[in-house]
Amino acid sequence: MTNAATTYATWHTQPNGDVAMAESHSPLWRHFIETVPERDFSSKTVLDFGCNRGGFLRLLHAMRPFRRGVGIDIASESVAAAAAAKGNMPLEFHVTTDLSPFVDSFDVAFSYEVIYLLPELKRHAAQMFEVMRNGGVYYAVTGCHNEMPLWPKWRELIGANSNAPVQDRSPQDYIDTFVAAGFDVSVRRFGYNGFVSGSKDRKYYPSILDALSYPAEYKLLFRLEKRV
């Protein structure tokens, strides 16, 4: 399944960037899964919007086995790698941003550091509302917003490394957009309090305290519930 929107081979401009990104995100994904209140996914159909190489869905299935998982992304080589790595897990992957084929399909959805890249956030919110079943919940994580102290520097750095254009939004912009789409919106700090590598890239984190405070304080977890 593809669509007419721009697609890329990989999200990262460097050939091995998506692989390295998945490795660095793994402990944060684990925290994400442990943080959401749902524990039994055995009857659930789940969506990972912006699945990249499929690592989040594989980890989610290992920690909270689900009935069916769908991953979508615009990075074609990364999606191919995700499909190749799925083994016998109940996963499928598509190169697309168009959710119209999945109306009323998902009980739980996730995105991790994706929504800040979406040029058409209103369209995304409206489509996510349509694909969620009544009572379904979409969890979206991002720390890339203009109330994060390092954002002016990060916007330039991420823009230089990303094949997708970087957007500039506030936390309230995200809230307003998803409320307008029909979701009940709540939010919490991501609150990651695990160990952080002492060799974090100083381009992004001038101080080790920046590396500690970003995932604990400035990264946000939005809970978007569909109630009809």
| Angstrom distance (rounded) from CA 5 to CA 24 | 28
Mention every residue, 6+ apart, whose C-beta is less than 8 A from residue 9: 75, 76, 77, 78
Which of 76, 149, 80, 74 minimizes the C-alpha distance to 111?
74
Instruction: Note whether 115 and 138 are within 8 A (CB).
Output: no
- Per domain, the residue ranges of the chain are 17-226
Q: Where are the alpha helices (DSSP H) in the chain?
A: 17-35, 55-63, 76-84, 121-131, 151-161, 171-181, 208-213
Reported as a single tens digit per residue, the pLDDT across 106-158 is 999 999 999 999 999 999 999 999 999 999 999 999 999 999 999 999 999 98
Radius of gyration (C-alpha) of the chain in whole angstroms: 17
Other beta carbons within 10 angstroms of residue 90's beta carbon come to 15
Other beta carbons within 10 angstroms of residue 184's beta carbon come to 12
Residue pLDDT tens, the chain, 228 long: 444 356 665 555 555 655 566 678 899 999 999 999 999 999 999 999 999 999 999 999 999 999 999 999 998 989 999 999 999 999 999 999 889 999 999 999 999 999 999 999 999 999 999 999 999 999 999 999 999 999 999 999 988 887 778 899 999 999 999 999 999 999 999 999 999 988 888 899 999 999 999 999 999 999 999 987
Which of 198, 188, 196, 228 minimizes the C-alpha distance to 213?
196
Which of 47, 52, 49 minimizes the C-alpha distance to 11?
52
The CATH-assigned architecture of domain 17-226 is 3-Layer(aba) Sandwich (3.40)
Sign of torsion, CA 181 183 184 190?
Answer: negative
